[in-house]
Amino acid sequence: MSSRSALPSTPVAPATVLAAAVRSGERTALDVLEEHLARISDHEVDVHAFNLVLEDRARESAAAVDARVAAGGDPGPLAGVPVALKDNLCTRGVATTCSSRILEGWEPPYDATVVQRLAAAGAVVVGKTNLDEFAMGSSTEHSATGPTRNPHDLDRVPGGSSGGSAAAVAAGFAPVALGSDTGGSIRQPAALCGVVGVKPTYGLVSRLGLVAFASSLDQVGPFAATVADAALVCEVVGGHDPGDSTSLPQDFPRVLAHLDDGVEGMRIGLVTEMLGEGIAVDVAARVRAAAEALTAAGAEVEEVSIPAVTYGLSAYYLVAPAEASSNLARYDGVRYGRRVDAPTAGEMMVATRTAGFGDEVKRRIVLGTYALSAGYYDAFYGKALRVRTLIREEFDAAYERLDALISPASPTTAFAFGDKTADPVQMYLNDVCTIPSNLAGHPALSVPFGVGDDGLPVGVQVMAPALGEVAAFRVAAVLESVAPSAGAPS
């Protein structure tokens, strides 16, 4: 990897360290913010992590945090920590575009629940990050605002759909960021950018204010430079939300308290179906090395077969587009967003959606509408739901004797721009390791574990049963502590 195509390395303090310094008065939130804004000013033109940088708004938030500290108050566990938000999370009075022309300039009248909780914890939002349009993609190349670049190699993709959030953390623009994960959109870019990315159990983090892609699969989660930072953000944004009908009636598990518990005595499975065909040899080698490291740390590691995961990709690309075709029907040029005038209402809707949606979104709407159409519902969507149940049952059976599972988070390291855009199926295969956990509703995360043969980061995926975040974070913390360094962008 040529150093000419990567960002210069700059040490970035973890969110836990920054928050402690601000809360104690050792540093000011404004000072912390300006440090990160300077980094954005210097390098955002190369990366394009953001659709919008909120400098003035962020300075107002940071000043409010400092005022509270000066008055003897405690702003919260994320005091003064800069946070980047994926641009499909509603922010009151700030454009939320989903990187789509159809929502250009739309300003929501409310904040997403997770955004409210970040503010209550003292965090400072620095901007809205780029994504594949409506979160449909695995490379952040399907964005109306242009692609985001991987800070480790600017000639390569950051993954997707939350590529802007992953790149923002990898580039040091913010210690933490939020993304959404429908089929791997947090874990895959986290792996490609060499950061931690977490998809919690479905229902543990509110979806209120997350612009819907596939409602039974979408989940909000954090990106962070460290496992501890990711755990802290999960605890801040997670927990019951009465405004979200799918929200579980409980707090987020206290994962921070268990990061030092280690893995002694834990039983961990290495999923064989996720190490064979389609997985790059160097990536598989890093995952096997992670298994050896867990064994050395006292865990019992064994290979385990979960045959149904091989059907995950097929089931997902029926379930997710079907839900997307329903959710995206609201963008009709009438209620909000872009409108292209035409002689009749029907022609106006067609013209609006033709101009407003990109090719990948149109492709998935067509696929989903077909799967739900009369005569095909049972053959396609109904069968996909039965496969989804089978996947969940096989995972549950594995978890009856295992505490956690590991696999690659992405089948390859970061690939070059244009490598997969000509063949949608090749792009979809990027999610082959991550989709099963979405279909099952289980938690999973990606933690960096060294580099591939090309010198680019490799992420190990840690999976756990529903509400098994403590086990997943224990494994991740151990892997982080023994991981070969992927290096900062340099």
Q: How many whole angstroms separate alpha carbon 42 and alpha carbon 40?
A: 5
Which secondary structure element, helix H or strand E, spans residue 236, and what is its range?
helix 227-237
How many residues does this entry show for the chain? 490
In angstroms, what CA-CA distances link 244 with 206, 247, 428?
6, 5, 29
* Residues 235, 206 contacting (CB under 8 angstroms): no
According to DSSP, residue 455 is labeled: S
Q: How many whole angstroms separate alpha carbon 169 and alpha carbon 191?
A: 12
- Select which of 61, 139, 143, 161 is catalytic: 161
- Select which of 162, 185, 247, 325 is catalytic: 185
For 279-301, b where at least 16 C-beta lie within 10 A, e where not — what string? bbebbbbbbebbbebbeebebeb
* Residues 16, 76 contacting (CB under 8 angstroms): no
In angstroms, what CA-CA distances link 68 with 30, 44, 83, 250, 396?
13, 31, 19, 30, 47
- 87's torsion region: left (phi>0), alpha (psi -120 to 50) or beta? alpha
Q: Retrieve residue 415's tokens.
A: 């690939």
- 304's torsion region: left (phi>0), alpha (psi -120 to 50) or beta? beta
Q: How many whole angstroms separate alpha carbon 21 and alpha carbon 76?
A: 12
- Give the type of residue at 103: L
**Angle at Cα 177 formed by Cα 216 and Cα 489, nearest 5°?**
125
Query: Is there a catalytic annotation at residue 161?
Result: yes
In angstroms, what CA-CA distances link 57 with 62, 93, 295?
9, 11, 48
In the three-class reduction of DSSP (H, G, I as helix; E, B as strand; rest coil), residue 285 is classed as helix
Query: Is there a catalytic annotation at residue 383?
Result: no
| Peptide bond preceding 139 in cis form (omega within 30 of 0) | no
Q: Which residues contact 404 (CB under 8 A, 6 or more apart)?
A: 266, 268, 269, 462, 463, 464, 468, 471, 472, 475
Query: Is there a catalytic annotation at residue 305?
Result: no
Catalytic residues: 86, 161, 185
